[in-house]
Amino acid sequence: MRILSKTGEQILSVEDWFAKAPPKQGARHWKDYRSAKELAKAWFRRSNPAPPEEVVAYLQRSFPAGEVTLTDAYPECIVTLDRFGGEQRNTDLLVFGSVGPQKLAISIEAKADEPFGDQLVGEYYDSRRTVPGSNLPARIDALSRAIFNADLNPKIRSLRYQLLHATAGALIAAQQHDADVAIFLVHEFISDRLNLAKVACNKIDWQALVAALVDDPSSQAPADRAIGPVRVAGGEHVPSDIPLYLGKIQTPLR
């Protein structure tokens, strides 16, 4: 297992992770019990980098046909969403591996009680429609058609914007790295220091995404396995021929 920075340098410890691939807000987000640092700690529970046991077990339950092997991971990985400029998708950890003959690309979003962004799609869209030069409305329109095969509607408007571009980013990253399967995995770190109301809001936001992508989520796999495969319409950058799986796991912290 290798964990690598954007420049290809190996990351060999939690401290090395912060030095070579710090979170967007730097030291402000690098604290015990918060998602950025706890994600790094989870991948360095041993002296060498290794995937957390709960991640491997979850993937193995979700894909029982072969042995899951994870080989490379990239913290704070930027995925280009489209031809527009501005901020792109920042994936907390992009992991590559395989299950049997299939190549996996796993986009991990780490959470404690941090929200899935501050904006709902509809509110964000409306706030930028009259801003000169803003590409945000065109980006949301394109992502809506690529993921949901629909123009902006009430269901899409009620989603968290971060979840919309994270879904697209997971598929784009899979295509860019010739993966056969894309997985969007939320990894929650649970402790007694969390704001339970925020955790509850995150659960509702996640369920809204699943309900928007899957006609009948209850007919899918049990809660301890990823939901999918989901097929999307595709767009300029978002592939339509790669199956997408949605997953969510929790790690209790002592």
> What string of DSSP letters covers 45-74?
SSSS----HHHHHHHHHH-TTS-EEEEEEE
Q: Quick check: 219 pLDDT over 80?
A: no
Neighbours of 112 (CB within 10 A): 23
Q: Is 53 exposed, middle or buried (0-12, 13-18, 19+ CB in 10 A)?
A: exposed
What is the predicted pLDDT for the residue at 124?
97
What's the pLDDT at 221?
Answer: 59
Round to whole Å and give the CA distance between 169 and 157: 19
Q: Has residue 82 got a pLDDT over 80?
A: yes
C-alpha–C-alpha distance, residues 187 and 20, integer Å: 22
What pLDDT is attached to residue 85?
A: 79
- Distance (Å, rounded) from C-alpha 72 to C-alpha 145? 31
**What's the token pair of residue 241?**
């021929």
pLDDT tens-place string over residues 17-39: 999 999 988 999 999 999 999 99
Average pLDDT over residues 116-132: 96
Gap between the Cα atoms of 125 and 231, Å rounded: 25
Write the DSSP assignment of 87-153 as a string of letters: --EEEEEEEEEEETTEEEEEEEEEESS--S-S-BHHHHHHHHTTSTT--HHHHHHHHHHHHHSS-S-
DSSP state of 217: G
Mean of the per-residue pLDDT values of the chain = 95
Number of domains in the chain: 1
Q: What is the pTM of this model?
A: 0.96
Find the angle CA(193)-CA(196)-CA(201) to the nearest 5 degrees: 135
pLDDT reported for residue 218: 67
pLDDT at 240 over 80: yes
Model confidence pLDDT, tens digit, residues 136-160: 999 999 999 999 999 999 999 999 9
Stretch 108-124: mean pLDDT = 97
- Identify the pLDDT of residue 33: 97
Nearest partner of 50 among 19, 73, 68, 76, judged by Cα: 73
User: Hey, is 195 helix, strand or coil?
Assistant: coil
Instruction: Quote the percentage of the chain above a pLDDT of 90.
Output: 91
DSSP conformational letter for 27: G
Residue 70 C-beta-side C-alpha neighbours within 13 Å = 24
Is residue 53 over pLDDT 70? yes
